[in-house]
Amino acid sequence: MVSKLIIGVIGIQGDVSEHATSMKDALKYSNIDGIVKIIKKKEEIDEIDALILPGGESTTISKVLYKSDILNSISKRIKKSNLPIMGTCAGCVLLSSDLIYNSKNLKLLSAMDMQVKRNAFGRQKESFEKNIDIKGFTSPYNAVFIRAPVIEKVWGDCEILSKIEKKIVMAKQDNLLAVSFHPELTDDLRIHKYFLDMF
């Protein structure tokens, strides 16, 4: 008997339930037998087939992940290349290898060959929506940006998937996906489905 695919969503803060709902809908739409599990303990990392790092306050998320040793558990899975991860907004920051103006409080996973700048579009009041072109998508995607980071540059095997002018807002490396906006806040499931197609 084939076991169900288990997609984990880090449940510290941010749009946890929204990501869970979007992924459940994407699994159903893609006709994949799977479940979504909210992750709050390091032992649960070994039980999942893929992981979503949602948005929120990156310093807070990093601190909790580090203190709970979940960060270390994720890193071990990344080194084995057997944990596909989608990081959105703060999750995008955590996946990066280099952070502009980083403080010692923010521990990165250093999983993707990219440099990120936090809050690159401004504060909460500068939040906006914009139709963007994404590599492989046949029509524009309406992206929601809330205190969004920007991927300043990529190198090595990291591939740019989308830009706003010269600002990189989506990138991929192996089975890792970094998104600076919030796909869980729209009814468009294409990014969650794209992530499912990566593993």
The catalytic position among 44, 158, 182, 192 is 182
The catalytic position among 44, 158, 184, 192 is 184
Token pair, residue 169, equals: 């807002």
Q: Which residues of 28-61 are buried (b: 16+ CB within 10 A; e: fewer)?
A: eeeeeebebbebeebebbeebebbbbbbbebbeb
Residue owning tokens 């087939």 = 49
Token pair, residue 50, equals: 């893929």
> CA 157 to CA 25: how far, in whole Å?
30
Residue 89 catalytic? yes
The catalytic position among 44, 89, 92, 158 is 89
Coil, helix or strand at residue 148: coil
Residue 192 catalytic? no
Amino acid, single-letter form, for residue 33? D
Residue 159 catalytic? no
Q: Which residues are catalytic?
A: 89, 182, 184
